A and B are shown apart, each in its own frame.
Chain A
Amino acid sequence: MSPENRNRLLAVGALVVAGGALAAIAWGNIGENLVYYWTPGEMLSQGEKAYGPTIRLGGVVAPKSIVWTDDKQHLAFEVADQKDGTGPKVKVASDQVPPQMFREGIGVVVEGTYAADGVFRTNRLMVSHSNEYRPPKPGEHTKEWQKSLETASK
């Protein structure tokens, strides 16, 4: 085989391998085996399988669910599937200082363990942001979210 033809064959071969790999990732069920986080509904549907192992739970902080202990050392809230707090919810307990943006209605991913008592204990609380970027509304200050956090337990 001439070097030119061999190279063309290599090009076709490499493109087929690359295309096949991409198709397998895109349309294969890799997402069923590799999951970054479970939503509350998905985690609860696992039943007892969810008790024990370290997992990630992702969802939205349910409205009016944030509770601090008086010394502000312990934080409890509920993670819901839906932004309005309807549908499946899971209670989460955290001893960590939450990120500045933590508040009701924001997306969170928590890493920890779920137990039979129905509480998800986390030592890694992450806040996610939507793809929307807006300026503050007139008269609004960007620091106000932190203020609302400081007074969240009242």
Chain B
Amino acid sequence: MPLITPLLILVGVVGLLLAHAFVPSVRRWSWKAFLGIAVVMFLVQPYLALSWAPPEREMGEVQRIMYMHVPQVWMALLALTLNFCCSVAFLLKKSWVTDALAEASAEVGVYFGAVGVTLGAIWAKPTWGVYWDWDPRLTTAAIMIVIYMGYLTLRRFVEDPEKRATWSSVMGIISYVDLPVLWFSVKWWNSLHQVQSSPKTVDPDMTMVLRWSATMFLCLLSVFIIHRFRVAYAARQAEVAPPEALAPGAA
């Protein structure tokens, strides 16, 4: 398979995401397309990750956890970035769409973050010798998960939808401080976790499988957020109904 394949699929997926965001008619079927792409890529991914890609020179076979750990943490960062954008957008212009999307992205982000960090710990035991240590990268990752669990808790504590949306938007903006710190922690401070790799420091075959996995998880992330958004949006509509039906056609 040509090494460029996952990048081409990624371009298509991003195009579909943009279409989903801006073309209402696309929203009726786009989740099926994302799910379809994810399933097809998932059928091939274990072969690529476990057999096709070479083992790592120093770490051996255990390095293959990278193909799950890295993309899942990326997806968490993406989802929580979406949460930040929705939080700012809600405060600038009240909308149950951005509020519901903020709720959906935070929950899915916490899920991917928790799985990604757990996989990192499983990878750490055979390589570093320990499951966990309080280095800057791991600490900021733990803070991320705990803080967004707090965000989700806040959402459930506030009964009034308007207050809930406003307060959680403020919390969403402030919580986001942790993410750039998490990203740059390995560059700013001494850490056990290595700094970010780039295609220059990673074998081309491994880069290909990493991109394949990332595109696959991006599709899965899209499916999860779209569905979780629908649940949240329906709940919001039920809460604020009946007289003032807001933003017709917003779904």
Q: Hey, which chain A residues are within 8 Å of B56, CB to CB?
A: 133-135, 142
Q: 1/0 contact trace for B106-140 toward A, CB 8 Å?
A: 00000000000000000000111110011110000
- Contact: B189 with A31, CB < 8 Å? yes
Residue of A nearest to B138 (CB): A36
Partner of B180, one of A22, A129, A143: A22
A130-B170 in contact (CB<8A): no
CB atoms of A25 and B181 under 8 A apart: yes
Chain A, 6-18, contact with B by CB distance < 8 Å: what is the 0/1 string?
Answer: 0110110111011
Question: Which listed residue (A3, A18, A26, A101) contacts B59, Cβ 8 A?
Answer: A101
In the assembled complex, the CB of A108 is this many whole angstroms from the nearest CB of chain B, namely 9
Contact B133 A126 (CB under 8 A): yes
Interface residues on B, range: 35 or more
Q: How far is the CB of B183 from chain A (nearest CB, A)?
A: 11
Tell me which residues across on chain B come within 8 A of A8, comparing CB atoms: 91-92
- A11 and B202 contacting across the interface, CB-CB below 8 Å: no
- CA gap between A146 and B38 in the complex, in Å: 38
| Contacts from B to A (Cβ < 8 Å) | 54-61, 63, 66, 87-88, 90-92, 94, 126-130, 133-136, 162, 166, 169-170, 173-174, 176-177, 180-181, 184, 188-198, 201-203, 205-206
Given A8-B91, A26-B188, 14 further pairs, Cβ under 8 A: A3-B94, A11-B88, A14-B87, A21-B177, A25-B181, A129-B127, A131-B196, A131-B197, A132-B201, A133-B66, A135-B55, A142-B55, A142-B59, A142-B60
Residue in A closest to B130 when the chains form the complex, CB atoms: A126
CA–CA, A100 to B125, complex, Å? 10
Is there an interface contact between A7 and B92, defined as CB atoms closer than 8 Å?
Answer: yes
A136 to B56, CA, bound (A): 6
Q: Does A128 contact B (CB under 8 A)?
A: yes
Q: How far is the CA of A14 from the CA of B177 in the complex (A)?
A: 11
Q: Pick from A4, A39, A126 the residue with the most CB of B within 10 Å.
A: A126
Given contacts A8-B91, A11-B88, A133-B66, contact A99 B127 (CB under 8 A): yes
27 residue pairs A–B, Cβ–Cβ below 8 Å: A3-B94, A7-B90, A8-B92, A14-B91, A14-B173, A17-B174, A18-B173, A21-B174, A36-B134, A36-B136, A36-B189, A36-B191, A36-B192, A39-B190, A58-B192, A100-B127, A101-B58, A102-B129, A126-B130, A127-B128, A127-B129, A128-B128, A128-B192, A131-B195, A131-B198, A135-B54, A135-B57
Question: C-beta contact mask, A21-39 vs B, less than 8 Å → 1, else 0?
Answer: 1100110000100111101
B203 touches A135 (CB 8 A): yes
Q: Shortest distance in angstroms between A134's beta carbon and chain B's nearest beta carbon?
A: 5
